[in-house]
Structure 1
Amino acid sequence: MATVLALSGSPSRTSRTALLAEHTAAVLRARGHRTHVLVLRDLPAAPLLSADTHDASVAHAVSLVAEADALVVATPIYKAAYSGLLKTFLDLLPQHAFTGKPVLPLATGGSPAHVLALDYALRPVLTALGAQVCQGRFVLDRHITTTPDGALALDHDDESQLARVTDQFAHALPSRAPLTTA
């Protein structure tokens, strides 16, 4: 099965975007894939802003990207663009960091007017990094709630559309033979 890294690009401590990334990773994990969620907000600000890839936390984050077979890139949309936090992280990656990797873009936002940011702001950057960009999904903030146990709850249409794009993404994932011991 594939190793999938989910990047959560929200700077907020309580984040619907992070919930969406974690939910998608859990769905893929339930299908047998290895998943990891990297919350970019947790990286140290000074090394991140100065693109200090020698900093242990930043270097580890970059290595997670390199080791992943595929990525889920989740971001809130602010002022018709993806988050500055995500942009800062993507800018410090090597030029072809996503080459040959399927990438599922996910976005959250407060207005349907921001839906085009997936195609006109985020997709070109992912493509420039070499990604095989899959069809993504934009979800309105007001359609994302949590259950009493903290799990993600989406309205019916968003839930079915997220399931559809996650399924398409899962079909694009490279398959690996199970590890065997000798």
Structure 2
Amino acid sequence: MAKVVIISGATSENSRLNGIELEVEAFLTRQRIEYEQIKVRELPPEDLIYGKFDSPEIVKANKKVESADAVIVLTPVYKASFTGVLKTYLDLLPQKGFANKIILPLVIGGTYGHLLVIDYALKPVLSALGATTILSGVYTLDSQVERIGDHQFQLDTEIHERLQKALTELSGQLAQVKLN
């Protein structure tokens, strides 16, 4: 069975990024794809900031990545880049931690002015971690994710369709990996 790890670089528990993450989880569940999560903001801050590679929580998170066939990286855009929270964790992964993994970047930002953050900020870091199969990814405007209640979100039709297309591509790639 294929296995996915979802790494969330959200800095807030109330981030609209959670709406995208919930959509990802629902898709993976419907497809019967096993997944685990790493919410970077829940890792010990001192371990992240001081680069404690041997921290039990960091080791545990890294084992999730190691055992996964695919990694979905979620992040909001701040100051034209992905979050520092996410970067602190990515820095603690082994040098080739994303080798032989399918990577799907999912990003949310305030304007289309940050649309290229996936290609010019995130993908180079993912490549430096050994990723060679990086899917196009999806950039979402935060206005396309509406809060409708406590931890409940409504995605607009366009972004819902784009996410489904990207996740279907990921699922197809995972099926190919499992055949080989």
TM interval, shorter chain, is over 0.9
CA distance in structure 2 between the aligned counterparts of 1:166 and 1:48, rounded to whole angstroms: 29
> How far 1:148 moved relative to its partner?
4.5
Q: How does 1:22-171 map to 2 (within 5 A)?
A: 22-131=22-131, 132-148=133-149, 150-171=151-172
Gaps of 5+ in 2: none
Q: TM-score, normalising length from structure 2?
A: 0.92
Gaps of 5+ in 1: 178-182
Segments of 4+ in structure 1 off by > 2 A?
Answer: 146-152, 174-177
* Residue identity opposite 2:48 in structure 1: L
CA distance in structure 1 between the aligned counterparts of 2:48 and 2:179, rounded to whole angstroms: 32
| Alignment partner of 1:175 is 2:178 | yes
Same amino acid, percent of matched pairs: 36
User: Per-residue CA shift, 1:129-152, capped at 9, x if unaligned?
Assistant: 122101100100111024447443
Q: Is the 8 A contact 1:18 1:74 kept in 2?
A: no
CA distance in structure 2 between the aligned counterparts of 1:22 and 1:63, rounded to whole angstroms: 23
* Residue identity opposite 1:44 in structure 2: P
Q: How many residue pairs end up in the alignment?
A: 177
- Aligned CA-pair RMSD: 1.7
Q: TM-score, normalising length from structure 1?
A: 0.91
